[in-house]
Amino acid sequence: MSVRWCPVIVSVLGLLVFESALFVDGGTTSSFVRKYEKTIDMPLDSDVFTEPPGYNAPQQVHITQGDHVGKAMIVSWVTMEEPGSDTVVYWSEDSSSQNTAEGIITTYTYYDYTSGFIHHCNLTDLEHDTKYYYEIGIEHASRTFWFTTPPPIGPDVPFTFGLIGDLGQSFDSNITLTHYEMNPTKGKTVLFVGDISYADNYPYHDNTRWDSWGRFAERSTAYQPWIWTAGNHELDFAPELGETEPFKPYTHRYQVPFEASESTSPFWYSIKIASAYIIVLSSYSAYGKYTPQHEWLEKELPKVDRSETPWLIVMTHTPLYNSYIYHYMEGESMRVIFEPWFVKYKVDVVFSGHVHAYERTERISNIGYDVVNSKCDPIKDDSAPIYITIGDGGNLEGLAINMTEPQPMYSAFREASYGHAILDIKNRTHAYHSWHRNQDGYAVTADSMWFYNRYWYNHDLHASS
Ligand SMILES: *[C@@H]1O[C@H](CO)[C@@H](O)[C@H](O)[C@H]1NC(C)=O
Ligand SMILES: *[C@@H]1O[C@H](CO)[C@@H](O)[C@H](O)[C@H]1NC(C)=O
Ligand SMILES: *[C@@H]1O[C@H](CO)[C@@H](O)[C@H](O)[C@H]1NC(C)=O
Ligand SMILES: *[C@@H]1O[C@H](CO)[C@@H](O)[C@H](O)[C@H]1NC(C)=O
Ligand SMILES: [Fe+2]
C-alpha cells in the first residue's frame, strides 16, 4: 500500500510547492523593451481621415449591438452639410426584399465647435447569424456597408472577440487597428475598454478630432459592432470652457443599448453575445453603496444564467489590479466595492484600459481584509477573475513604461508595448486569450493563455484538490 501511495503524495506536494513558488516570486516582466518615442497623432490630411466623396455623404459610420441578445443593431453616422436622410435601407444577404428603418438626428455644441448631424438608427427584428447589407445617405452620396449578426445565445456557441483600449488616432493607433484587422483569428466584435479619440488633449478639446477619429475607425466600426466603455478621455468636463456636462460629445456620438438591460444610464449596461455575458461598468460614475450603478450591478449579477451564457466578462476603464506606476491604485476604490461580487459570481475575466501597456494577473482576490485583521495581501483564489489591462491601443500620451518593482505576486505578465488582444471562446469550458504586440510593423504574439470557465470547468481547483 505505502509503496503505491508515496509517489502520489510526493507528486501532489511537488505540484503545490511548484505552484506556490511561482506565485510568491511574481510573474514575468517581458524583456521586450520598445524604443521609447513620443506618440504623435496622424495629421488631419492623412489618408485615414479622408472624407467620403459627394455632397453631405455619410461619414464616421459605426455600429453597436442594439438590444440585449443580438437581434438589433444601432447604426450611427454623421452628415456634415445638412441633416439629410435619417433612413437606413437594409436587407439580408439571402433576401431580395428591402427593409427601412427611421433613425433620430442629434447635434451638440462644445465651446466654439458645432457638430455635424449625428444619426442613430436601431435596426430591429434581425435574424441571428445573418449577413446584412445596409445603405445610408441618398443618391450619389449613398454608401453601403454590411455586418453579420451574432449567433443565437447558447452555452457552447463559439465566438471571437477583439480587445482594444485607449486607441486614439496616432500612427501607433493605425498600426494596432491594422494588426487587429489582419489577425488570422478574426474578431467579430470589439470589446472596447474606453478612451476613444483623445480630442480632449487638443486646445479647447478640439472636437474636429472626434470627427477625424470617427473617419479613421470606420473601416472597422462600420462592419462589426464595437461595444463601448466610457473612459476618462470621454469626460470632456471643462468648466473653464463653460462645458460642465460630463460625456457630452461621447453620449451624442456613441449610443449603447443600456435600457435593454434595465440600466438607467448609458455608462453601465450589459449584453449577451453567443456564450458570453458582458457587463460594462463606469469608472467615472458613482459606484458606492446606494448609487444607481451599485444598485444596478447588485440586481444584474444574479440574472446571469451560466447554463445559458457560461462566460461572464466585465469591462471597466480603470484597472482594479495594475502594477505600473502610471495610474497605480486608481481602481482601488472600485476594487474594494465590487471585488467581493466578482468572486461570489465567479467572473471569468475583467478587461480594462487606461494604463498604456499590457498586463495579466493571476487568479487572485483581496477581500479578506476587515480593517483590523491585517489580511491585506491578495491571495490565490480559484473563484476570482483574471484581470487584464489592455490600454495599449496607441493613444496620444505615450506608453506607460515605469513599473512598480519588484513585480508584485498578483501580476503574471506585463509589458509596455502597443497591441491588441483576441479572446477566442471555443465552448463552455475553454477560451483562448492572446495578446499581440506591435513590433516593428509586425504583430507578434507575446502573451497567451487558456481560460478555463469558472462555472463549468474550474480546472485550477481540480488540479490542486
Ligand atoms: C494606416 O494604415 C493603413 C492600413 O495599414 C494604411 O493604408 C495607411 O496608409 C496608414 N495611414 C497612416 C497615416 O499611417
Ligand atoms: C432597439 O430595438 C430593440 C428591439 O425593439 C429594443 O429592445 C432596444 O431597446 C432598442 N435599442 C435602442 C438603443 O433603442
Ligand atoms: C519614469 O522613469 C523615468 C526614467 O527612470 C523617469 O525619468 C520618470 O520620471 C519616471 N516617470 C514616472 C511617472 O515615474
Ligand atoms: C472545448 O474546447 C476545447 C479546446 O478546443 C477542447 O479541448 C474540448 O474538448 C472542448 N470541449 C468539448 C466538450 O467539446
Ligand atoms: Fe484613460
Three cell numbers, residue 76: 450611427
Convert the pLDDT of each residue in 89-120 to its tens digit: 999 999 989 999 999 999 999 999 999 999 99
- The pLDDT value given to residue 35: 63
| DSSP letter, residue 369 | -
- The pLDDT value given to residue 270: 98
Q: What's the 277 CA to ligand 4 centre distance in angstroms?
A: 20
Convert the pLDDT of each residue in 419-449 to its tens digit: 999 999 999 999 999 999 999 889 999 999 9
Query: Among 269, 58, 63, which Cα is nearest to 150's?
Result: 63
Is the C-beta atom of 325 inside 6 A of ligand 3? yes
Assess whether pLDDT exceeds 70 at residue 239: yes
Q: Which ligand is nearest to the CA of 310?
A: 4
Residues designated catalytic:
327
- The pLDDT value given to residue 459: 65
**Residue 334 burial by Cβ neighbours in a 10 Å radius (0-12, 13-18, 19+):** buried
Q: What's the 445 CA to ligand 1 centre distance in angstroms?
A: 21
d(CA 72, CA 7): 58
| Nearest atom in ligand 3 to 402's CA | 1
Terminal-residue alpha carbon distance, the chain: 21
- Spatial contact of 101 and 121, defined as CB atoms under 8 Å apart: yes
Atom 11 of ligand 3: nearest residue by CA position: 402
Quote the percentage of the chain above a pLDDT of 70: 92
226-234 mean pLDDT? 98
174-203 mean pLDDT? 98
Atom 3 of ligand 3: nearest residue by CA position: 402
- The pLDDT value given to residue 4: 38
Convert the pLDDT of each residue in 127-170 to its tens digit: 999 999 999 999 889 999 999 999 999 999 999 999 999 999 99
281-291 mean pLDDT? 98
> Which of 156, 157, 424, 426 is the best mutation target for the ligand 4 pocket, counting ligand atoms within 8 Å of the beta carbon and taking the most?
426
- The pLDDT value given to residue 461: 53
Q: What's the 34 CA to ligand 5 centre distance in angstroms?
A: 21
- The pLDDT value given to residue 366: 98
Q: Which ligand is nearest to the CA of 391?
A: 5
Quote the percentage of the chain above a pLDDT of 90: 88
> Which of 156, 275, 424, 429 is the best mutation target for the ligand 4 pocket, counting ligand atoms within 8 Å of the beta carbon and taking the most?
429
- The pLDDT value given to residue 349: 98
244-263 mean pLDDT? 98
d(CA 423, CA 435): 9
Least reliable range by pLDDT among 32-36, 211-215, 288-292 = 32-36
Is the C-beta atom of 15 inside 6 A of ligand 3? no
| Nearest atom in ligand 4 to 432's CA | 4
What is the value of pTM for the model shown? 0.93
Convert the pLDDT of each residue in 9-20 to its tens digit: 334 333 333 333
Q: Which residue has the cell 443600456?
A: 258
Q: Which ligand is nearest to the CA of 399?
A: 3
Which residue type does 454 have? R
Convert the pLDDT of each residue in 43-68 to its tens digit: 999 999 999 999 999 999 999 999 99
Atom 7 of ligand 4: nearest residue by CA position: 430
Is the C-beta atom of 402 inside 6 A of ligand 3? yes
Three cell numbers, residue 283: 469608472
- Count the helices and strands in the chain (H runs, E runs): 7, 26
**41 CB-near residues (< 8 Å, 6+ apart):** 168, 169, 170, 198, 209, 396
Which residue type does 426 have? K
Assess whether pLDDT exceeds 90 at residue 397: no
Q: Residue 170 phi/psi, 5° resolution?
A: -90, 175
Convert the pLDDT of each residue in 350-384 to its tens digit: 999 999 999 999 999 999 999 999 999 999 999 99
